[in-house]
Amino acid sequence: MVKEDMFQMERISTGIKEFDSLIEGGYPKNRTILLSGGPGVGKTIAALQYVNKVCESGKKCLYLATEETPEELRIQANQLGIPLKTFEDNNLLKIEPVLAERMEDIQWQRGKTPSRSILKKPIDSISNSDADSVVLDNLGSYTLDITIGTFREQLDLIVHTVRKKGMSGLFVSDETLNERYNNVALYSVHGAIHMFKRENPFTGNVERLMNVMKMRGTKTPLGYVKYIIDENGINIQSSKTSK
């Protein structure tokens, strides 16, 4: 069958070399991808590698950081050879710490009913941004005390905002986004990747694995994708693909 170009999804490099080729060239452009996993699996590193690719290609990126300060991120990136400061100086990257605001929200919530507009700040930041890509690291920070229904509504709104603005989104979620929220989140986003560690029952070694849970309009590896983290960041080791 002849594929018509106008119906093909444009791709953005993930910044993880061998991973791009496993998902037809990269994350689908102008969509939102959810990257989930427990602490220390490499979510922020994956996000930084993405930022690196976006900014290297001369595109603008907005980084909404809920857990780390911009300074901490610059240090972490520098260890991987990713020049965040240079990108910032060249007006390609804006790191917005949404940490302080989050604490205010939590304090406010303690005494009052939970805020219905808990994701208002990242939504406002995205609405006011002229960036091509947005990283939200991480989403779990916003789910404290809100109902599943409200979360779904807010997440749909933020995903919709990203798409309407012609941006591409990479949203990180950690274990604070519990199973129930995570399942809900899976429906709202275009693609979802889960990162985890597992002890290999045969070797006894702990392995790092990625599971491409969904990626609409994309041929994805069915098996887990093995990776390591070193001074270059995330490196794909193998893909046990069964098509």
| Residue numbers at the binding site for Mg ion (CB under 5 A) | 44
The site partner of 136 among Mg ion, ligand ADP, none (C-beta below 5 to 8 Å per kind) is none
Residue 213 binds which one of Mg ion, ligand ADP, none, with CB within 5 to 8 A depending on kind?
A: none
Q: From the CB of residue 128, how many other CB atoms can be counted at a distance below 10 Å?
A: 9
**Closer residue to ligand ADP in complex, CB, 161/193:** 193
Per-residue string for binding with ligand ADP, 216-235, x by CB under 6 A? Answer: -------------xxx----
Nearer to ligand ADP by Cβ, of 22 and 47: the residue is 47
Q: Which of residues 39-68 bind ligand ADP (CB under 6 A)?
A: 39-45
Of 179 and 231, nearer to ligand ADP (C-beta) is 231
Contacts of 14 by beta carbon, 8 Å cutoff, 6+ apart: 20, 23, 26, 27, 46, 49, 50, 53
Tokens 């093995």 sit on residue: 226
Binding-site partner at residue 37 among Mg ion, ligand ADP, none, CB < 5 to 8 Å by type: ligand ADP
Task: Compare residues 34 and 45 and give the one whose CB is closer to ligand ADP.
Answer: 45
Q: Which of 243, 202, 207 is nearest to 225 (CA)?
A: 207
Smallest gap from residue 171 Cβ to ligand ADP (A): 13
DSSP secondary structure, 87-107, as one string: HHHTTSEEEEE-HHHHHHHHH
Nearer to Mg ion, 36 or 44 (CB): 44
Three-state DSSP at 120 gives helix
How many chain residues are in contact with ligand ADP, going by CB under 6 A?
11
What is the C-alpha to C-alpha distance for residues 94 and 87, in angstroms, rounded to an integer? 8
Amino acid sitting at position 64: L
**Residues 13 to 42 in contact with ligand ADP, rule: CB under 6 A:** 37, 39-42
Q: Cβ of residue 174: shortest distance to ligand ADP, in angstroms?
A: 7
Q: Are 182 and 173 in contact (CB under 8 A)?
A: yes
Closer residue to ligand ADP (CB): 165 or 185: 185
Which residues lie closer than 8 Å to 64 by C-beta, 6 or more apart? Answer: 96, 98, 122, 125, 126, 134, 135, 136, 137
The three-point CA angle 173-212-155 to 5° equals: 35
Chain centroid to CA 228: how far? 18
Partner interacting with residue 45 (select from ligand ADP, Mg ion, none; CB below 5-8 Å by kind): ligand ADP
Query: Minimal distance in Å, beta carbon 9 to ligand ADP?
Result: 27
Residue ranges binding ligand ADP (CB under 6 A): 37, 39-45, 229-231
